[in-house]
A = this chain, B = another copy of it.
Amino acid sequence: MLKYIGIVRENKDGKGIIEIYKEYIQGLYKLEEFSHIIVISWLNKVSEEQRNTLIVRPRGLLKYGFRLEDLPEVGVFCTDSPHRPNPIAISIVRLIKRQENLLHVEDLDLFEETPILDIKAFTPARCPDDVKVSKWVEEFEKKLEEIKRKKTPF
């Protein structure tokens, strides 16, 4: 039912290459006119047991200085945990350049060899205004802002 249209060929600290298989290359025509793309991938290393996970703590936040005990338990559909009934990941990444069937990208959060299901050009119109998020997400985003400010103090 699912077709793999490509694979993450390389990823060094988020800078990577997505290879789209030759038979799908036509579908990339004019993609280079966009600065960002949505990469839809299938996390094929997720086990059947992990696919049955329904409650998680958003552990991805630990690396930003949150403590495990401060992270709430939430339903998996509130998060982008890879452990979910269908391990589909959505990554919005910068498209640096396209070389035929090779997409050179930045901000890539996928391991090498991850199969790709789809690519969609990103357009700002996709993002709604007046978004309200959960309190723990707000705190997380405030923390992220602080980290970014510290990186560029001037």
B1:A34 contact, CB within 8 angstroms = no
A127:B90 contact, CB within 8 angstroms = no
Chain B residues lying within 8 Å of A50, measured Cβ to Cβ, are none
Chain A residues numbered 46-102 whose CB sits less than 8 Å from any CB in chain B: 51, 54-55, 72-80, 84-86, 88, 90, 92, 94
CB distance from A114 to the nearest CB of B (A): 15
B86:A118 contact, CB within 8 angstroms = yes
CA distance A75 to B137 in the complex (A): 36
Chain B residues lying within 8 Å of A29, measured Cβ to Cβ, are 54-55, 73-75, 78
Interface hub of A31, A75, A117, A132 (most chain B Cβ within 10 A): A75
CB distance from A147 to the nearest CB of B (A): 12
Q: At the interface, yes or no: A124 with Cβ under 8 Å from chain B?
A: yes
Chain B residues lying within 8 Å of A78, measured Cβ to Cβ, are 29-31, 33-34, 120-121
Residues on A close to B: CB < 8 A? 1-3, 5, 20, 24, 26-31, 33-38, 40, 51, 54-55, 72-80, 84-86, 88, 90, 92, 94, 107, 117-128, 130-135, 137, 141, 144
22 contacts between A and B (CB under 8 A): A1-B2, A2-B86, A24-B54, A26-B75, A27-B55, A27-B75, A27-B84, A27-B85, A29-B55, A29-B73, A29-B75, A30-B134, A31-B75, A34-B137, A38-B90, A40-B88, A86-B118, A90-B120, A90-B126, A92-B126, A92-B128, A107-B128
